[in-house]
Amino acid sequence: MDFILATTNDHKYHELKTLMPNINLIKATDMVEVDENAPTFLGNALIKAKALYDILKMPIIADDSGLCVEALDNKPGVKTARYGSDVFNRILESSERNEYLLSNLKNETNRNASFVCTLVAYISPNRIYSVTEEVKGLITKEQFGVDGFGYDPVFFLPELDKTMAEIDKDTKGLYSHRGKAAKKMNNILENIK
């Protein structure tokens, strides 16, 4: 069964394609603009999946993921990709979002955070599967590493003594929120017809 991945983000596509080797993922060539206004990662993943399914009438995989920082009342949360945009009146580049996050935690001792990922497989309106996973870590005081994307340079994994941006993609797949969710979704989809 082919699945259209509801993203035009190359990083996310290649990461999920690697993490779900037994599923034929096809990157959406164009994404319908949707208002991701749900208060949860699951809600936003469902919005994206349904919108693309309504157009293509094909099985869709959609994800919504983000960073939840304890000291910021679990923000940026579902607004992770747009974090700081309301302050600067534009969409920030990843490194700018990281610097904005670090500035908001400058005097904070609680650096606990979680990366969260929800994956939805929308096969039809009556066949929907979802998985949500997280990885816990700490927010660093500066950016480290060049691999990965998004908040990876500021998300520290104590068990590896490295940020997500300092580990190779195979190791990241074992530890990351998206890696954990993709593994579970891969197992679900392998066993359905």
Per-residue model confidence (pLDDT) at position 39: 95
The count of domains in the chain is: 1
Please, which pLDDT band fits residue 161 given cuts at 50, 70 and 90? very high
pLDDT exceeds cutoff 90 at 77: yes
CATH assignment at residue 43: 3.90.950.10
User: 12-26, 73-87, 120-134: which has the highest mean pLDDT?
Assistant: 120-134
Per-residue model confidence (pLDDT) at position 139: 98
Please, which pLDDT band fits residue 72 given cuts at 50, 70 and 90? very high
Q: What residues have CB less than 8 Å from 98, skipping those under 6 apart?
A: 143, 151, 153, 154
Q: What does pTM read for this prediction?
A: 0.91
Per-residue model confidence (pLDDT) at position 37: 86
Q: Which residues of 9-33 are buried (b: 16+ CB within 10 A; e: fewer)?
A: beebbebbbebbeebebebbeebee
pLDDT exceeds cutoff 80 at 63: yes
Domain of residue 18, residue span = 2-190
Per-residue model confidence (pLDDT) at position 153: 95
Per-residue model confidence (pLDDT) at position 73: 96
Helix (H, G, I), strand (E, B) or coil at 83: coil
- For the annotated catalytic residues, the residue numbers are 64
| Cβ(116)–Cβ(68) below 8 Å | yes
Average pLDDT over residues 65-89: 93
pLDDT exceeds cutoff 70 at 62: yes
